[in-house]
Chain A
Amino acid sequence: MPRIVIDGLEIEVPQETKVIDAAERLGIMIPRFCYLKSLGAVGACRVCAVKFLQGPFKGVQMSCMVDVQDGMVVSTTDDEAVAFRRQVIEWLMLNHPHDCPVCDEGGQCLLQDETVSGGHGIRRYKGSKRTYRNQYLGEFIAHEMNRCIHCYRCSRFYQEYCGYRDLGVMQIADRVYFGRFQNGQLESPFSGNLVDLCPTGVYTDIPARYKVRSWDLDRSPSVCIHCSLGCNTVANARYRTVWRVEGRYNEALGSEFICDRGRFGFGYTNQPSRPRQARVDSRSVALSDALKSAAEKLSRIHAASGPRAIACVGSARNSLETQTMLKSLCDGLGLPAPCFFVNSQTEKAVKRAVASLDERVAVSLNGVAHGDFIVAVGVDPLNEAPMLALAMRQAHRRGALLVILDPRPSFLPAPHVHLGFAPGELNGVLGSLVGKALETGDEGKLPPLHEDFLKSLPLESLFKAPVNHGEELDVVLSALQKSRRPVLVCGSEIVRENTPSLCADLALLMRSAKGQCGLFYVLPGANAFGGALLSGSEESSFMEVVESMEQGCTKALVLVESDPFLQFPHKDRLKRAMEKLELLIVLDHLPSLSAEMSHVFLPTSTLFEVDSTFINQEGRVQWSRAVHEGGIPMEQWTEGNHPPRAHGAIIPGQDFKAAGKVLEEIARNMGASGEVSLSDPRFRPGKGASPLEGAPGDRPGDGMRLIPRESSREPFSAREEYFTFGEDAGDSLELLLVEALFGTEELSAHSPALEKVEPKPHMWMHEQDASMLGFSQDDVIAMDLEGGVVEVRLKVSPSMARGVLVLPRHHRLQWQKFRDISVRVPHDRMRKS
Chain B
Amino acid sequence: MAYADLLPEEMRKQLIQRIAEGETAREQAIDVMTALQNHFGHMSDQAMLVASELLAMTPLELEELATFYNFIYRQPVGKYVIHVCDSAVCWMHGHESLMDHLLSRLKIRLGETTEDGLFTVLPVCCLGYCDHAPAMLVNRHIHGELTREKIDRILTRLAEEPHLPTGMK
Q: Which of A161-178 contact B (CB under 8 A)?
A: 165-172, 177
Contact of A170 among B45, B57, B58, B68 (CB under 8 A): B68
Query: Could you tell me the distance between the alpha carbons of A172 and B68 in the complex, rounded to whole angstroms?
Result: 5
**A167: nearest chain-B partner, CB-CB:** B60
| Residues in B neighbouring A573, C-beta threshold 8 A | none
Q: Which of B47-81 contact A (CB under 8 A)?
A: 48, 57-64, 67-68, 70
**A164: nearest chain-B partner, CB-CB:** B58
**Is A461 at the interface (CB under 8 A from chain B)?**
no
**B60: nearest chain-A partner, CB-CB:** A181
**Is A180 at the interface (CB under 8 A from chain B)?**
yes
Query: Could you tell me the distance between the alpha carbons of A810 and B37 in the complex, rounded to whole angstroms?
Result: 46
Interface size of B by CB at 8 A reads 13
**Is A182 at the interface (CB under 8 A from chain B)?**
yes
B60, chain A: closest CB distance, angstroms: 4
Q: Which of A147-205 contact B (CB under 8 A)?
A: 165-172, 177, 180-182
A180, chain B: closest CB distance, angstroms: 6
Query: Could you tell me the distance between the alpha carbons of A461 and B58 in the complex, rounded to whole angstroms?
Result: 42
Supposing A181-B48, A182-B45 touch, asked if A168 and B67 sit within 8 A by C-beta, the answer is no
| Residues in A neighbouring B61, C-beta threshold 8 A | 165, 168
- B67 and A180 contacting across the interface, CB-CB below 8 Å: no
Chain B at the A interface: mostly helix, strand, loop or mixed? Answer: helix
Query: Could you tell me the distance between the alpha carbons of A166 and B70 in the complex, rounded to whole angstroms?
Result: 22
- B64 and A169 contacting across the interface, CB-CB below 8 Å: yes
| Residues in A neighbouring B64, C-beta threshold 8 A | 168-170
| Residues in B neighbouring A182, C-beta threshold 8 A | 45, 59
Query: Could you tell me the distance between the alpha carbons of A167 and B48 in the complex, rounded to whole angstroms?
Result: 16
A163, chain B: closest CB distance, angstroms: 12
| Residues in B neighbouring A168, C-beta threshold 8 A | 60-61, 63-64
| Residues in A neighbouring B45, C-beta threshold 8 A | 182
Chain A at the B interface: mostly helix, strand, loop or mixed? Answer: loop
A759, chain B: closest CB distance, angstroms: 20
**A166: nearest chain-B partner, CB-CB:** B60
| Residues in B neighbouring A166, C-beta threshold 8 A | 58, 60
Query: Could you tell me the distance between the alpha carbons of A182 and B58 in the complex, rounded to whole angstroms?
Result: 11
Mark each residue of chain A from 301 to 331: 1 if its CB lies under 8 Å from any CB of chain B, else 0. 0000000000000000000000000000000
By CB atoms of chain B within 10 A, which of A165, A169, A170, A171 has the most? Answer: A170
Query: Could you tell me the distance between the alpha carbons of A796 and B68 in the complex, rounded to whole angstroms?
Result: 39
Query: Could you tell me the distance between the alpha carbons of A171 and B61 in the complex, rounded to whole angstroms?
Result: 12
| Residues in A neighbouring B48, C-beta threshold 8 A | 181
**A179: nearest chain-B partner, CB-CB:** B60
Query: Could you tell me the distance between the alpha carbons of A170 and B58 in the complex, rounded to whole angstroms?
Result: 13
Contact of A171 among B57, B62, B67 (CB under 8 A): B67
A179, chain B: closest CB distance, angstroms: 9
Query: Could you tell me the distance between the alpha carbons of A168 and B68 in the complex, rounded to whole angstroms?
Result: 12
| Residues in A neighbouring B58, C-beta threshold 8 A | 165-166, 181
B54, chain A: closest CB distance, angstroms: 16
**B45: nearest chain-A partner, CB-CB:** A182
| Residues in B neighbouring A170, C-beta threshold 8 A | 60, 63-64, 67-68
Query: Could you tell me the distance between the alpha carbons of A169 and B58 in the complex, rounded to whole angstroms?
Result: 13
| Residues in A neighbouring B70, C-beta threshold 8 A | 172
Q: Which of A745-797 contact B (CB under 8 A)?
A: none
Contact of A180 among B57, B60, B68 (CB under 8 A): B60
- A181 and B59 contacting across the interface, CB-CB below 8 Å: yes
- B68 and A171 contacting across the interface, CB-CB below 8 Å: yes
Query: Could you tell me the distance between the alpha carbons of A172 and B65 in the complex, rounded to whole angstroms?
Result: 10
B166, chain A: closest CB distance, angstroms: 25
- B67 and A165 contacting across the interface, CB-CB below 8 Å: no
B128, chain A: closest CB distance, angstroms: 17
Q: Which of A367-402 contact B (CB under 8 A)?
A: none
By CB atoms of chain A within 10 A, which of B45, B60, B64, B68 has the most? Answer: B60
Query: Could you tell me the distance between the alpha carbons of A764 and B57 in the complex, rounded to whole angstroms?
Result: 26
Query: Could you tell me the distance between the alpha carbons of A409 and B48 in the complex, rounded to whole angstroms?
Result: 29
B51, chain A: closest CB distance, angstroms: 11
- Extra inter-chain contacts (10) besides given A169-B64, A180-B60, A181-B62, CB under 8 Å: A165-B60, A168-B60, A168-B63, A168-B64, A170-B60, A170-B64, A171-B67, A172-B68, A181-B63, A182-B45
9 sample A-B contacts, Cβ–Cβ < 8 Å, listed by A number: A165-B58, A165-B61, A166-B58, A166-B60, A168-B61, A168-B63, A170-B63, A171-B68, A172-B70
Q: Which 6 A-B pairs have the closest CB atoms?
A: A181-B59, A165-B58, A181-B60, A170-B67, A171-B67, A172-B68
Give chain A's interface residues, CB within 8 Å of chain B.
Answer: 165-172, 177, 180-182
